Chain A
């Protein structure tokens, strides 16, 4: 009972301190060692050899440590009953910390070299001081344990946050890339619209000039057979080289006196109707000038066809790019699909495009964006089929949704990459300069998502890839 009481008494810092204070005032030589702590004063600085060790009787001292990068870290605030300079005292090394008085008070100031002497001189002080030191050590050990645990938890959390950050950074990068791409597309759209406008002028001039030429020709050449030859030329379609070769053999037989190969070729391009006219009027004019009337008609025909093609291309390019990119409008999605196909006609040259565009209601949508989706899917299909094959595009209305399916006759999408195709930077093309950045389907996914719809891909029974896009019908724009 006695012992346990004694231990609990010794564990109580406050009681020990009270006892020591009492002893100090009883022993005058100890009282001399008591020093006043003035707020703001530095007791010792980090790295200095220790001159004194302090037992705080009243007041507070703050221990700080200066890091290699010159930042100051506050380590602990020591109150009454604590030792300052304890570790330097036990190890004999320079102090690890600086000590500053943050609250005025009193401390017992002892020279470390004389400490043993104090203890021997004042046996009554020996036991409580030793116990107080032990208490200090225990306390610091406990706080060390707490710190270790805390460090571990912190580093764990830090790791998690670092991983979260990585994910967020990746997401940010993807979004950034997507935004840049969209911005590029928007700029391209503006450029295309401006370009289309500029091209329309010369194309119209070309077309008008051709028509005027026809009229002028009619005035100059009222001489009937030459004008008729011109008219036949004006309405004749060019022949493919195989047919032309066959007809050249016929012409060689029919007109053995025509030796010039280029004349044979020109005659071969004429329909029989024109050849009959030539047979009839050959005596009246030179063969070449007769042929030239037909040629003139044919050339104007070519100008008409070519300028009409330019005008059609420009028209679809203009409506495809939609200058007012960011606006939603009540529109028929099928028009966008048709425009897209026209704009991509160069890539679709040897692809059989089958359209099964059922009646669908108009809906609020950003047509420019949607056209980008059709473009991405169609271009991918073309690449998968090496530019040759069949693409089928269907539209249907179902439960207030518009469903667009685009399927191709290519090799399909292999099952292992199928779940990844809508992820940013996923690409099967090694030549990224070819068309995109591997963002096509990711952007399509984003666009359809913004429209409140879904985009899915699977392979058909025939083996080709099929994309199904469903967009809700809306009238709120």
Chain B
């Protein structure tokens, strides 16, 4: 797999980042994880990943970030065609309703995880979102069978075969 689909985690508290990355470990053989502590760094990392011919499949973003908050970052990324296709999940300890509504309306937020999260919850959200991403982007679905939602992937493959015929 030369062309890789990345997971980007944006979180400024190092202990929290540590825990998030740890819980996402099992996805890493299929989806390399990149991390960023600030919105600025996140954009640099995204540029780097895209420059090397890869894509960002999923962005997990903290709400309170230094400089620019997570919602603003997600809105900005939504306006870029390279990252508008990426699934976006807000991970937050304190987003007010207004901010959440803004994120849903303007950043096409795909999911919202409130802190503290559970490993099962995080895994489920990440699996669902990445499954959708892989299907939407027409990747080689078979190679993701063991890590993503196999049922959904086979369903998608069946449909694809039918339309191909």
A261 in contact with B32 (CB, 8 Å): yes
A260 in contact with B37 (CB, 8 Å): no
Instruction: For A261, give its contact among B33, B67, B94 (CB under 8 Å).
Output: B33
Chain A residues with CB under 8 A of B28: 260-262
Instruction: For A244, give its contact among B35, B66, B67, B96 (CB under 8 Å).
Output: B35
**Cβ of A200 under 8 Å from chain B:** no
Per-residue CB proximity of B104-145 to A under 8 Å, as 1/0?
000000000000000000000000000000000000000000
Chain A residues with CB under 8 A of B96: 433
Residue of A nearest to B69 (CB): A387
**Cβ of A349 under 8 Å from chain B:** yes
Instruction: For B18, give its contact among A238, A346, A431 (CB under 8 Å).
Output: A238
* Given known A238-B14, A260-B28, contact A302–B67 (CB-CB < 8 A): no
A238 in contact with B17 (CB, 8 Å): yes
A349 in contact with B66 (CB, 8 Å): yes
Residue of A nearest to B94 (CB): A346
A262 in contact with B25 (CB, 8 Å): yes
**Cβ of B29 under 8 Å from chain A:** yes
**Cβ of A305 under 8 Å from chain B:** yes
Residue of A nearest to B31 (CB): A261
B37 in contact with A241 (CB, 8 Å): yes
**Cβ of B36 under 8 Å from chain A:** yes
Most buried by B among A238, A241, A433: A241
Per-residue CB proximity of B42-73 to A under 8 Å, as 1/0?
00010000000000000000001011000000
Measured between C-beta atoms, what is the minimum distance from A270 to chain B in Å? Answer: 13
**Cβ of B147 under 8 Å from chain A:** no
Measured between C-beta atoms, what is the minimum distance from A295 to chain B in Å? Answer: 8
Per-residue CB proximity of B15-37 to A under 8 Å, as 1/0?
10111010001001100111111
Q: CA separation between A346 and B93, bound complex, in Å?
A: 11
A241 in contact with B64 (CB, 8 Å): no
A240 in contact with B18 (CB, 8 Å): no
Instruction: For A265, give its contact among B19, B21, B45 (CB under 8 Å).
Output: B21
A241 in contact with B66 (CB, 8 Å): no
A-B residue pairs in contact (CB < 8 Å), sample of 29: A237-B14, A238-B14, A238-B15, A238-B17, A240-B14, A240-B37, A241-B35, A241-B41, A241-B45, A242-B37, A242-B41, A244-B35, A260-B28, A260-B29, A261-B28, A261-B29, A261-B32, A261-B33, A262-B33, A265-B33, A298-B18, A302-B18, A302-B19, A305-B15, A346-B64, A346-B94, A349-B64, A350-B66, A433-B98
